[in-house]
Structure 1
């Protein structure tokens, strides 16, 4: 079954997305540069050149700015996994999927991505939201793995959730190592190393419960 194409966005919707993107970018840059606890909403709106009322039209709090960033990461992972060729080994499909946000970070030569990653990993409240989002990503990825396996595989017991969880653990390890290296470590090499370790488990024959 082929999915229906998404209807085109209206002009008003495109404008809303543009404003939200601009607000998010200004906020993330300020938060990453100054620190989450040190920045106020007033400072964010001043940096973005909008009113406080406009900010709260798009975000409930400054934490919500980072949550939106995380939501975009999750959407990229899921979309890539869904688009991988049928029959591709899980380790290959999942490696490509979790590389989407990591590759975006690596491609940002302004160090903005590195600062945002550090902000999330080193701010307890934001790290908690990151882990909360990852639990959602795991469930979505597990459902996609079941779909890819086809109806003959059934729900495959615990394997889809465990497989998705291992892929996200590898992603976390690479993200942390890249952050700790001040962005000097090669994220692609780190990702290859991580998936070389877990690939045998991801591509197992499914024996057991």
Structure 2
């Protein structure tokens, strides 16, 4: 009885533990990729690196590629939250730009080396590039719904919400990849902000 009451009263703790495990697995995957090369990394190695079993890994991810891209899902949620928090009267593209830059700023300390390594892996391995595109498609759907809410449109019927979401996502990714390939004197946050300004598409 006491255990059941405690579990019901602390759903946040359970979710934090799950998130901590996801993060540990993703970081282990990146660390091992840096140490051994991507082709030499196995699911069993990632699980061991995070201190869990391979079965536990499979409860969270369907592949090592998905594990490496997991932090992208965290960024997607930050972008969505940031966009929803922007003032209702703010021009959409300004709000989108702020949301993307803020999400990157939140993880600025991790840009070197984790995000850089992840980008380089995706650029050089087809399976990781495909996983990134799947992630971006899910993010586009999420952002399109929020964009539709702000613009009074319908993502199922109107092109603009998905168009704006996809353009912003692709622009941010290509800018970051260009920044990683370097050399680039512009700080990454400034580079993303500038690039989004160049492709601005207001409703």
Same fold (TM over 0.5): yes
SS in 1 for 2:38: coil
Aligned length: 194
Checking the alignment, whether the CA contact within 8 Å between 2:22 and 2:70 is kept in structure 1 is: no
Alignment partner, residue 166 of structure 1: 167
Checking the alignment, whether the CA contact within 8 Å between 1:77 and 1:101 is kept in structure 2 is: yes
Shift of 1:80: 1.6
Alignment partner, residue 128 of structure 1: 130
Shift of 1:78: 1.6
- Taking the TM superposition and a 5 Å limit, the aligned residue runs for 1:7-26 are 9-26=11-28
SS in 1 for 2:62: coil
Alignment partner, residue 178 of structure 1: 179
Which range moved further: 101-110 or 120-129?
101-110
- Taking the TM superposition and a 5 Å limit, the aligned residue runs for 1:38-187 are 38-108=40-110, 110-150=112-152, 157-181=158-182, 185-187=186-188
Checking the alignment, whether the CA contact within 8 Å between 2:144 and 2:164 is kept in structure 1 is: yes
Checking the alignment, whether the CA contact within 8 Å between 2:172 and 2:196 is kept in structure 1 is: no
Q: Which has the higher contact order (CA 8 A, sep 6+)?
A: 1
> What do you get for the CA RMSD once the two structures are aligned?
2.7
Residues of 1 paired with 2:185 and 2:124: CA distance? 19
Checking the alignment, whether the CA contact within 8 Å between 1:32 and 1:119 is kept in structure 2 is: no
Checking the alignment, whether the CA contact within 8 Å between 1:143 and 1:160 is kept in structure 2 is: yes
Q: TM-score scaled by structure 1?
A: 0.78
CA-to-aligned-CA distance 1:43-88 (integer Å, 9 cap, x gap): 2233333333333343333123124223222222222212211011
Alignment partner, residue 197 of structure 2: 196
Q: TM-score scaled by structure 2?
A: 0.80
Residues of 1 paired with 2:56 and 2:154: CA distance? 48
Residues of 2 paired with 1:13 and 1:193: CA distance? 36
Residues of 1 paired with 2:185 and 2:108: CA distance? 10
Residues of 1 paired with 2:119 and 2:184: CA distance? 10
Larger helix fraction of residues: 2
Checking the alignment, whether the CA contact within 8 Å between 1:114 and 1:182 is kept in structure 2 is: no
CA-to-aligned-CA distance 1:123-142 (integer Å, 9 cap, x gap): 21111111122122222222
* Matching of residue 36 in structure 1 with residue 50 in structure 2: no
Give the gaps of 5 or more residues in structure 1: 1-6
Question: CA 1:175 to 1:85, structure 2 compared with 1: closer, same or farther past 3 Å?
Answer: same
Give the gaps of 5 or more residues in structure 2: 1-8
